[in-house]
Amino acid sequence: MGSKKVLGGVVALVLSMGLVASACSSGDDGGSSSGTTAAAGAGGEVVDLATFVAGPPDNIDPALTTELGGAQITTAMFDGLTEFAYPDGAEKGELKGLVAESWEGNADATEWTFKVRDGLKFSNGDPVLPSSFKAGWDRAANPELAAGYGYLFDIVQGKAEWDEAAEKEDSSVTGLSGVTANDEAMTLTVKLAKPYADFPSVVSHIIFSPVPAKVVEGLKDQSDWDRGEMVGNGPFALAAPRSESEIVLVPNKNWTGDVVGTTKVSLGKITFRVSKDENAAFSSFQAGEGQTGAIPSGQYSLVQPGGAYENTNTVKPQLGSYHFLFGMQEGSPVAGEKNLKLRQAISLAVDREQINKAVYEGSRQTSTGVTPPGIPGFEKGLCKYCAFNLDEAKKLYAEWEAEGGSLPGPLKIQFNEGSGHEDVVAIMQANLKELGIETEQDGRSDETYFDEMSDGGCILCRAGWFWDYPIYDNGMFDLFSKAAIGPGSNNLGQFSSDEFDGVVDTARSNLDAAAREQQFRSAEDIVLNQDTVVVPINWYQGDQVFDAKLQNYRQEPLGWVRWEQVSLKK
């Protein structure tokens, strides 16, 4: 999910004739010590200053949010069919049923049936039914809504026909024909256009959340739901419609439990306060105006041994990549085969270790690819152009110039302002000046940056990605496929390659996990080396500090906080 993005570990899918996977129901985790039980809302109020450090989120609607901050609210408000559990701070996750009791796939993974738990309710009291998922998926997949993650439904039967009908302004198609809800049997059956063994993992994404059908049917504007009284089925509910200064959550009294054994929400209220930038947010935290804060660049000594927050921080490995993308759309000065050596030279000229030491005080892991450790199939050292080598960079740059290459002016390096990226870009500018390339900073508003980049604005643009679910596919298909090109989508550089899409498509249909992961590594080789469309910088670590009174507060490897577990000492 873009980090302005929503969810590693080994996924245990039994690929046999029945492809059957049984899952623990929410709140039944075999006595996990991670589980908590408390009177709902008995644990006080918390002000969060770590989530929205550079302005409000674009969306908190499960169908529309594409950034980690907005997804933090959405994951607290909505429970999907499945979810990855990281009990007791484990680094590897296990796929479990949340609203789904179990799931079963056919022999070639083209049809999946989910058994939905009975008796669950939305925060307004409406029942959570298979038809609630059908309603949510049809809403999110509707071409008229133009959801940023809408391409995730492309694998479902009927989506292609719906898109085609929408292009022809044919209103006869009104939903995904491959999704069938049987409320009497409490089953949701999904027919896929192609085999996809990882589908139960994918439906852990928030865009596959259920919605109360009667509520969304009554909306005048589907794109504006999150500006009003949005209703979910997760551990928390909105206390009031969101504002530009804060979002307030209170316990959902109808909620019954999560995948790690928590059965009751402890906190009585969470106020997610919006700040203008990370430094202002951190200053507010230090002044005691909230219980959580984000660590600004240059302040990581505070979480090192002897630092003020050495025991109250979340600095542990995350499943996320911090990188820059080359704009590959028509008209971009760095796009095309003719500029391949330029892109490779730029990647080699960036001193990633210098960035890590100067900006993050060595707290992050310098990356050797996009896919981080913890994702099944990870292999260190995939990238041939990620190690700092100025001599080789100058050689490639000279060859590019000798072949007629030139830039029309200073190369723009784009980033979203207010989140500490200025310091990273300044180092990159100095690095590229050594190469012979003049650059200029092109900072944009955090609120509009990602939409502007995905709409064809990227030249050399900052991007971040937290895995929505810990499988290799989530970092390849979502970031670099043609399907993910478009306003609000995740392929910010608009990379388009038939070869890449073919490799990814083959991998997604492969039922053999080891072979599937090898094919995804081949796809990553294309974006790193053969076409060089991405400049990996580092893999994320947790980046938050918190008050010592908070208990069970941590960032999951997928970047978000499981707020239902958090309590406050009195």
**Contacts made by residues 389-396, CB under 8 angstroms, sequence distance 24+:** 389/348, 390/348, 390/349, 390/434, 390/435, 392/348, 393/344, 393/345, 393/346, 393/348, 393/349, 393/435, 394/345, 394/435, 394/436, 396/341, 396/342, 396/344, 396/345, 396/348
Tens-place pLDDT, residues 292-335: 999 998 888 999 999 999 999 999 999 999 999 999 999 999 99
Look at residue 190 and tell me if it is in a domain.
yes
Comparing 281 with 34, the larger pLDDT belongs to: 281
Look at residue 143 and tell me if it is in a domain.
yes
Domain that holds residue 250: 20-32+58-260
Give the HSE-up count for residue 478: Cα atoms under 13 Å, Cβ half-sphere. 30
Cα angle: 550, vertex 260, 320; to 5 degrees: 75
How many Å separate Cα 92 from the centre of its chain? 17
Whole-number average pLDDT of the chain: 91
Of 260, 282, 303, the residue that ends a domain is 260
* CA–CA gap between residue 569 and residue 546 (Å, rounded): 13
Q: What is the mean pLDDT of residues 400-413?
A: 97
* CA–CA gap between residue 341 and residue 143 (Å, rounded): 38
Look at residue 268 and tell me if it is in a domain.
no
Position 475 scores a pLDDT of 96
Position 156 scores a pLDDT of 98
DSSP 422-464: HHHHHHHHHHHHHHT--EEEEEE-TTTHHHHIIIII-SEEEEE
Q: 116 falls in which pLDDT band (50, 70, 90)?
A: very high
Position 298 scores a pLDDT of 82
Which residue in the block uniquely carries the two structure tokens 């990159």? 428
For residues 257 and 36, the answer to whether their CB atoms sit within 8 Å is no
User: Buried (b) or exposed (e) across 298-335, using 16+ Cβ within 10 A?
Assistant: ebbbbbeeebebeebbbbebbbbbbbbbbbbbeebbbb
* Dihedrals phi, psi of 14, to nearest 5 degrees: -90, 100
Tell me: do 230 and 330 sit in the same domain. no
- The tally of domains found in the chain comes to 2
Tell me the pairing of strands 544-546 and 534-541. unpaired
Q: Is the pLDDT of residue 5 over 70?
A: no
For residues 317 and 557, the answer to whether their CB atoms sit within 8 Å is yes
Q: What is the mean pLDDT of residues 374-400?
A: 96
Position 89 scores a pLDDT of 64
Q: Is the pLDDT of residue 27 over 50?
A: no
Which residue in the block uniquely carries the two structure tokens 């003719």? 338
Look at residue 51 and tell me if it is in a domain.
no
Q: What is the mean pLDDT of residues 436-460?
A: 94
Look at residue 428 and tell me if it is in a domain.
yes
Q: Which residues contact 530 (CB under 8 A, 6 or more apart)?
A: none
* CA–CA gap between residue 416 and residue 434 (Å, rounded): 25
Q: Which residues contact 502 (CB under 8 A, 6 or more apart)?
A: none
* CA–CA gap between residue 449 and residue 462 (Å, rounded): 10
Tens-place pLDDT, residues 484-519: 998 888 999 999 999 999 999 999 999 999 999 999
DSSP 492-539: TT----HHHHHHHHHHHH---HHHHHHHHHHHHHIIIIIS--EEEEEE
Q: Is the pLDDT of residue 555 over 60?
A: yes
For residue 50, the one-letter residue type is A
Strand partners, 291: none
Take residue 527 and report the two structure tokens written for it.
């974006």
Tell me: do 157 and 251 sit in the same domain. yes
Position 41 scores a pLDDT of 54
For residues 190 and 179, the answer to whether their CB atoms sit within 8 Å is yes
Look at residue 254 and tell me if it is in a domain.
yes
Tell me: do 255 and 390 sit in the same domain. no
Q: Is the pLDDT of residue 40 over 70?
A: no
Q: Is the pLDDT of residue 22 over 70?
A: no
Tell me: do 228 and 326 sit in the same domain. no
Which CATH number fits the domain that encloses residue 467?
Answer: 3.10.105.10
Helix (H, G, I), strand (E, B) or coil at 127: strand
Tell me: do 209 and 333 sit in the same domain. no
Q: Is the pLDDT of residue 198 over 50?
A: yes
Tell me: do 506 and 423 sit in the same domain. yes
Of 212, 227, 260, the residue that ends a domain is 260
Tell me: do 525 and 399 sit in the same domain. yes
* CA–CA gap between residue 567 and residue 548 (Å, rounded): 11
Give the alpha-carbon dihedral of 177, 132, 204, 482, to 10 degrees: 40
Take residue 120 and report the two structure tokens written for it.
């669950």
Tell me: do 236 and 330 sit in the same domain. no
Tell me the pairing of strands 534-541 and 365-366. antiparallel
Q: Which residues contact 314 (CB under 8 A, 6 or more apart)?
A: 542, 543, 544, 545, 546, 553, 554, 555
Tell me: do 256 and 323 sit in the same domain. no
Which CATH number fits the domain that encloses residue 208?
Answer: 3.40.190.10
Tens-place pLDDT, residues 160-185: 999 999 999 999 999 999 999 999 99
Strand partners, 156: 192
Tell me: do 70 and 218 sit in the same domain. yes
Look at residue 353 and tell me if it is in a domain.
yes
Tell me: do 239 and 328 sit in the same domain. no
Q: 2 falls in which pLDDT band (50, 70, 90)?
A: low
* CA–CA gap between residue 285 and residue 547 (Å, rounded): 9
- Crossing angle for the helix pair 513-525 and 473-480, to the nearest 10 degrees: 40
How many Å separate Cα 34 from the centre of its chain? 24
Nearest Cα to Cα of residue 261 among 41, 7, 552: 552
Look at residue 79 and tell me if it is in a domain.
yes
Q: In what order do the strands lie in the sheet with 460-466?
A: 365-366, 534-541, 317-326, 460-466, 411-416, 439-444
